[in-house]
């Protein structure tokens, strides 16, 4: 038997982090109205439903505002506005002019970035550092990127001309509210479509702030309509006869319902659904970097990320070392007030989602997996979950198969390249994957054999407007971002 | 030695058994069922396998097994195999023309159709190692990463070939599927199945690995739901205009988020019946990120 070689990596010292003084961002730098109406045809209008629902701050459970609930009549009105704007204005507008409107939106988001970041964090519970450094700038960049495509579409598809699809119905999730709105609206407008967008009911505020910007930018009325509500409102959009395209980001279950609902129509669809990404660490990987990547992969945005690296595969020879490093690192993560600039892990987006996560933690224990949770201090109010690792996980365990959408990592070991490729691909999903190794040829072998739409090698959870994002298999179809993201909003002629 | 002849004093013709093609083997349907293919003169042309759900499921297993090595094969090699299929078809032109005539084509029509099929195979052979360059991108991300997007084959494709243009439709559907590195199960035209089975013989002698293309004969109405709800199929292709069937395919395909391609408006005889966009319909786009180390050379310039 080979003698176990004691590795020479040292334990990184993070001890001092727990002594950081609070550094909260100011709530006052952003204005939240007590009530928000529907943004239809360039105006904020009271809902015909006459109903409003409250939206809360998941970090404190305090009410932030009241949001209008759109019913079928409101959806009809929004679609009609979008259709009229499409026929009379937007599709006829010179493409270079179209581009300039979209550029304006990008610039105005940049100007009001701080306000957007604060509201995003208050409404959704994500750390202010993430909304400030990732969500808001990436959303602005997305508009800026696609603005430039508007008058260049004839270069995008060899030997074909493009026409817009018409009115796009867009339904987005609660995990990246503003960014998902940008991913949906920017390419749709650039390609000449008009849109009716519905944010998730828990996180409507930044989309409504975006509506203010769209109004301020003087975008022709009806080109962008933003209506709020829950699943019923979404269903009314999906089933509306005058919508040409459905773009949906959300759960695989709802994606399947949408595919069935539009089966008897000519509506086109792009679906960006769930995931259960494998993150693979080989023994030759730079382990400290890999551990950072794994932490980022699963704990970014509290794990509310469809492409989160929620399955970790570690090569057997470094398994114990990696798990030890992960536990050490876990202890240093600061869970708490999302508005604090020191916070690593903010609030779980809603009570309902916290219940789902806790249900899966229970399932993991019942299935015989071994749990490790950070011993960090936890806030007394609000929805929070300790960062959680599971070892002793079997491939067939539900925590290794199903999307949890929370800060819960399932860790397994492997011996050979072939074994880990098979394990990683043994899932109904195919959104993303990660590989950690110092050997280039091995990385390329893995990145070409993993059946997923986005592969990160020696990095994780990186996004860019120029970089197409989207899944294989049950993670959905269509791409968002980059040249390939244009296909979702055009007909080829 | 005496020559044995039949009562008309002519040599007795050997009739061909029309079988289905699964995993590179010519097999009878496991169901033991058959139907009689006829033409407009009500002549019986052949006893044809009435393929079953089990045949389809066997074919999916074969296609999935074949997918791994076919999809990772060099694109140049796939190009040569598609070219080889065209060569084999060219060599057996007479047989196909004969079958098409039996199935009600005129001689001119039949010749034209077979020629078009051969040319279409050559066309797609050429695309095998070119479409990737056309539809890939290197993405100029704003962080220090090398980031690129490439098309990759979707997987196992279940296709219901056009009921008319029994040979050209079949070839036009199969060629872009396999040029792009996918494997498939194809249901031949129910009314004109002869050429499809004979085409399987062409595939069989073209170095196309068994299981990459599986050809079934049978009834669309019976099999279409299995083509759409099988959990190990990645996409369904349907070429007819029947609305109820289209709807059913889309509904059942939702079970595992299958991609659905409807080709009822394509004129296969036109130039528009071929393009690299047919290949791209059955590709996924994969984006890969690699960090660019920026330590040693961070300050270096040109």
Q: How far A28 CA sits from the closest chain B CA (Å)?
A: 32
Chain B residue numbers with beta carbons less than 8 Å from the beta carbon of A466 are 139-142, 147
Q: Three-state SS across B69-116? A: HHHHCCHHHHHHHHHHHHHHHHHCHHHHHHHHHHCCCCHHHHHHHHHH
CB contact under 8 A, A468 and B149: yes
Query: For residue B122, what pLDDT is reported?
Result: 98
Q: Report, as an integer, the average pLDDT of A234-254.
A: 98
Q: How far B162 CA sits from the closest chain A CA (Å)?
A: 20
Chain A residue numbers with beta carbons less than 8 Å from the beta carbon of B145 are 459, 462
Cβ proximity of A218 and A234 under 8 Å: no
CB contact under 8 A, B254 and A477: no
Query: For residue A152, what pLDDT is reported?
Result: 98
Tokens of A467: 């970089």
Q: Report, as an integer, the average pLDDT of A366-379.
A: 95
Q: Does A286 touch chain B (CB under 8 A)?
A: no
Q: How far A140 CA sits from the closest chain B CA (Å)?
A: 13
Q: Which residue has the higher pLDDT, A172 or A12?
A: A172
Domain spans, chain B: 21-40+52-138+147-270
- State pLDDT tens for residues A144-168: 999 999 999 999 999 999 999 999 9
Closest CB to B287: pick one of A256, A262, A454: A454
What is d(CA A245, CA A188) in angstroms, rounded to the nearest whole number?
10
By the 10 Å C-beta count (0-12 exposed, 13-18 middle, 19+ buried), A368 is classed as exposed
Name the pLDDT band for A2 (thresholds 50, 70, 90).
very low
Q: Does A142 touch chain B (CB under 8 A)?
A: no
Q: Which residue has the higher pLDDT, A381 or A2?
A: A381
In a structure prediction context, what are the per-residue pLDDT tens digits for chain B, which is 302 residues long? 455 555 677 889 888 999 999 999 999 999 999 999 999 999 999 999 999 999 999 999 999 999 999 999 999 999 999 999 999 999 999 999 999 999 999 999 999 999 999 999 999 999 999 999 999 999 999 999 999 999 999 999 999 999 988 999 999 999 999 999 999 999 999 999 999 999 999 999 999 999 999 999 999 999 999 999 999 999 999 999 999 999 999 999 999 999 999 999 999 999 999 999 999 999 999 999 999 976 555 565 56
Q: How far A190 CA sits from the closest chain B CA (Å)?
A: 19
Query: For residue A15, what pLDDT is reported?
Result: 61
Tokens of B104: 């009600």
CB contact under 8 A, A473 and B256: yes
Chain A residue numbers with beta carbons less than 8 Å from the beta carbon of B147 are 464, 466-467
Q: Does B76 touch chain A (CB under 8 A)?
A: no
Name the pLDDT band for A13 (thresholds 50, 70, 90).
low
The backbone region for A192, taken as left when phi is positive above 0, alpha when psi lies in -120 to 50, beta otherwise, is left
CB contact under 8 A, A260 and B254: yes
Domains and CATH numbers, chain A: 27-273+472-492 (3.40.605.10), 275-457 (3.40.309.10)
Cβ proximity of A172 and A255 under 8 Å: no
Query: For residue B44, what pLDDT is reported?
Result: 94
Q: What angle do CA B179, B181, B182 make, to 5 degrees?
A: 105
Q: Three-state SS across A24-59? A: ECCHHHCCCCCEECEEECCEEECCCCCCEEEEEECC
Query: For residue A235, what pLDDT is reported?
Result: 98
Where is A491: in which H helix or E strand?
Answer: strand A490-492
CB contact under 8 A, B140 and A466: yes
Interface test with B, best of A106, A441, A467, A493 (most B CBs within 10 A): A467
Q: What contacts B194, CB < 8 A, 6 or more positions away?
A: B18, B37, B45, B46, B48, B99, B102, B103, B166
Query: For residue B293, what pLDDT is reported?
Result: 76
Q: Does B232 touch chain A (CB under 8 A)?
A: no
What is d(CA A390, CA A276) in angstroms, rounded to the nearest whole number?
15
Name the pLDDT band for A1 (thresholds 50, 70, 90).
very low
By the 10 Å C-beta count (0-12 exposed, 13-18 middle, 19+ buried), A341 is classed as middle
Query: For residue B232, what pLDDT is reported?
Result: 98
By the 10 Å C-beta count (0-12 exposed, 13-18 middle, 19+ buried), A380 is classed as exposed
Cβ proximity of A489 and A193 under 8 Å: yes
Q: Three-state SS across B20-76? A: EEECCEEECCCCCCEEEEECCCCCEEEEEECCCHHHHHHHHHHHHHHHHHHHHCCHH
Picking from A349, A354, A123, A245, the residue whose alpha carbon sits closest to that of residue A362 is A354
Chain B residue numbers with beta carbons less than 8 Å from the beta carbon of A469 are 287
Name the pLDDT band for A20 (thresholds 50, 70, 90).
confident
Q: Report, as an integer, the average pLDDT of A487-492.
A: 98
User: Has residue A16 got a pLDDT over 70?
Assistant: no
- The long-range contacts involving B39-43, CB below 8 angstroms and separated by at least 24 positions, are B39/B102, B39/B103, B39/B104, B40/B104, B43/B102
Check if A306 is active-site.
yes
In B248-277, the residues whose Cβ lies within 8 Å of chain A are 248, 250-251, 253-257, 259, 275-277
Q: Does A431 touch chain B (CB under 8 A)?
A: no
Chain A residue numbers with beta carbons less than 8 Å from the beta carbon of B71 are none
Q: How far B220 CA sits from the closest chain A CA (Å)?
A: 19
User: Has residue A39 got a pLDDT over 90?
Assistant: yes
Tokens of B184: 């498939």
Tokens of B285: 């786009």
Check if A191 is active-site.
no
CB contact under 8 A, B289 and A452: no
What is d(CA A175, CA B83) in angstroms, rounded to the nearest whole number?
50
Nearest residue in chain A measured CA to CA from B134: A158
Nearest residue in chain B measured CA to CA from A157: B135
Protein fold of B21-40+52-138+147-270: Aldehyde Dehydrogenase; Chain A, domain 1 (3.40.605)
Q: Does B69 touch chain A (CB under 8 A)?
A: no
CB contact under 8 A, A260 and B134: no
Q: Does A192 touch chain B (CB under 8 A)?
A: no
DSSP for B195-225, written as a single string: HHHHHHHHHHTTTPPTTSEEEE-S-HHHHHH
Closest CB to A453: pick one of B141, B142, B286: B286
Q: Report, as an integer, the average pLDDT of A377-387.
A: 95
In A158-187, the residues whose Cβ lies within 8 Å of chain B are 158-160
Catalytic residue selected from A272, A403, A474, A480: A272
Nearest residue in chain B measured CA to CA from A472: B284
Model pTM score: 0.95
Residues paired with B46 in a beta bridge: B37
Where is B146: in which H helix or E strand?
Answer: strand B145-153
Catalytic residue selected from A306, A307, A376, A385: A306
Classify residue B254 by its DSSP letter.
G
- State pLDDT tens for residues A464-473: 999 999 999 9
Tokens of B60: 């999916």
Q: Report, as an integer, the average pLDDT of A229-258.
A: 98
By the 10 Å C-beta count (0-12 exposed, 13-18 middle, 19+ buried), A87 is classed as middle
Picking from A246, A280, A190, the residue whose alpha carbon sits closest to that of residue A485 is A190
Nearest residue in chain B measured CA to CA from A443: B290
CB contact under 8 A, B257 and A264: no
What is d(CA A413, CA A473) in angstroms, rounded to the nearest whole number?
25
Cβ proximity of A432 and A456 under 8 Å: yes
- State pLDDT tens for residues A288-316: 999 999 999 999 999 999 999 999 999 99
Q: Does B285 touch chain A (CB under 8 A)?
A: yes
Beta-carbon pairs below 8 A across chains A and B: 113
Picking from B246, B275, B158, the residue whose alpha carbon sits closest to that of residue A267 is B246
Tokens of A141: 């960049």
Classify residue A79 by its DSSP letter.
H
Cβ proximity of A342 and A22 under 8 Å: yes
What is d(CA B237, CA B264) in angstroms, rounded to the nearest whole number?
10
Q: Report, as an integer, the average pLDDT of A464-493.
A: 98
Where is B248: in which H helix or E strand?
Answer: helix B243-253
Between the alpha carbon of residue B260 and those of residues A19, B237, B249, B251, the distances in Å are 56, 6, 8, 10
Query: For residue B54, what pLDDT is reported?
Result: 98
């Amino acid at each position: 038997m080979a003698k176990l070689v004691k590795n020479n990596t040292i334990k990184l010292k993070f001890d001092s982090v727990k002594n950081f003084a609070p550094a909260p961002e100011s709530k006052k730098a952003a204005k939240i109205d007590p009530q928000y109406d529907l943004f239809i045809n360039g105006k904020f209008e009271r809902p015909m439903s006459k109903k409003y629902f409250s939206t809360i701050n998941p970090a404190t459970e305090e009410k932030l505002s009241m949001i209008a609930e759109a019913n079928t009549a409101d959806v009809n009105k929004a679609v009609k506005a979008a259709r009229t704007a499409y026929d009379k204005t937007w599709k006829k507008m010179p493409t270079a002019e179209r581009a300039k409107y979209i550029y304006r939106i990008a610039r105005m988001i940049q100007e009001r970035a701080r306000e957007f970041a604060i509201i995003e964090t208050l409404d959704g519970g994500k750390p202010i550092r993430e909304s400030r450094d990732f969500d808001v700038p990436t959303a602005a960049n997305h508009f800026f990127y696609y603005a430039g495509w508007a008058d260049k579409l004839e270069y995008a598809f060899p030997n074909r001309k493009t026409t817009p699809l018409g009115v796009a119905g867009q339904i987005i999730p609660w995990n990246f509210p503003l960014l998902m709105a940008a991913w949906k609206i920017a390419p749709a407008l650039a390609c000449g479509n008009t849109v009716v967008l519905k944010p998730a009911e828990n996180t409507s505020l930044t989309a409504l702030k975006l509506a203010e910007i769209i109004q301020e930018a003087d975008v022709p009325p009806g080109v962008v309509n933003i209506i709020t509500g829950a699943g019923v409102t979404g269903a009314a959009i999906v089933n509306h006869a005058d919508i040409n395209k459905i773009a949906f980001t959300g759960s695989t279950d709802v994606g399947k319902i949408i595919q069935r609902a539009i089966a008897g129509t000519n509506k086109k669809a792009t679906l960006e659904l769930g995931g259960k990404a494998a993150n693979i660490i080989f023994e030759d990987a730079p382990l400290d970097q890999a551990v950072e990547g794994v932490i980022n992969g699963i704990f970014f945005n509290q794990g509310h990320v469809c492409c989160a690296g929620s399955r970790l595969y570690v090569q057997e020879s470094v398994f114990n070392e990696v798990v030890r490093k992960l536990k050490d690192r876990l202890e240093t993560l600061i869970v708490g007030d999302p508005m604090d600039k020191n916070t690593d892990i903010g609030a779980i987006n809603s009570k309902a989602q916290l219940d789902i996560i806790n249900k899966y933690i229970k399932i993991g224990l019942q299935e015989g997996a071994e749990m490790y949770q950070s011993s960090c201090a936890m806030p007394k109010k609000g929805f929070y979950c300790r960062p959680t690792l599971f070892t002793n996980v079997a491939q067939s365990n539900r925590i290794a198969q199903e999307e949890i959408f929370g800060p819960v990592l399932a860790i397994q070991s492997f011996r050979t390249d072939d074994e880990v490729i098979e394990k990683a691909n043994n899932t109904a999903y195919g959104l993303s994957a990660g590989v950690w190794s110092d050997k280039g040829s091995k990385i390329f072998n893995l990145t070409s054999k993993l059946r997923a739409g986005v592969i990160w090698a020696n990095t994780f959870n990186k996004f860019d407007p120029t970089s197409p994002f989207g899944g294989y298999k049950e993670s959905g179809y269509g791409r968002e971002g980059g040249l390939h993201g244009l296909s979702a909003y055009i007909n080829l002629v | 030695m005496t020559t044995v002849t039949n009562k008309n004093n002519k040599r007795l013709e050997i009739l061909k058994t029309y079988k289905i093609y699964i995993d590179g083997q010519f097999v009878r349907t496991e169901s033991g069922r058959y139907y009689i293919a006829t033409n407009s003169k009500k002549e019986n042309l052949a006893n044809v396998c009435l393929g079953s759900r089990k045949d389809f499921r066997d074919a999916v297993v074969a296609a999935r097994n074949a997918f791994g090595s076919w999809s990772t094969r060099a694109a140049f090699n796939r190009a040569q195999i598609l070219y080889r299929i065209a060569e084999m078809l060219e060599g057996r032109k007479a047989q196909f023309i004969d079958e098409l005539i039996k199935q009600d084509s005129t001689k001119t029509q039949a010749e034209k159709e077979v020629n078009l099929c051969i040319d279409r195979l050559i066309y797609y052979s050429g695309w095998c190692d070119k479409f990737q360059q056309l539809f890939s991108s290197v993405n100029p991300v704003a962080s220090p990463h090398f980031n690129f997007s490439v098309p990759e084959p979707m997987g196992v494709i279940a296709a219901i070939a056009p009921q008319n243009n029994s040979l050209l439709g079949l070839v036009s559907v199969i060629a872009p599927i396999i040029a792009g590195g996918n494997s498939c199960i194809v249901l031949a035209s129910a009314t004109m199945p002869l050429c499809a089975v004979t085409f399987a013989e062409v595939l069989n002698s073209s170095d196309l690995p068994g299981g990459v293309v599986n050809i079934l004969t049978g009834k669309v109405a019976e099999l279409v739901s299995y083509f759409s709800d099988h959990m190990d199929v990645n996409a369904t292709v349907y070429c007819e205009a029947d609305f109820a069937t289209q709807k059913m395919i889309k509904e059942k395909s939702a079970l595992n988020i299958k991609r659905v391609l409807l080709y009822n408006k394509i004129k296969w005889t036109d130039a528009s019946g071929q393009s690299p966009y047919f290949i791209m319909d059955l590709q996924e786009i994969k984006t890969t990120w690699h960090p660019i180390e920026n330590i040693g050379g961070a300050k270096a310039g040109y």
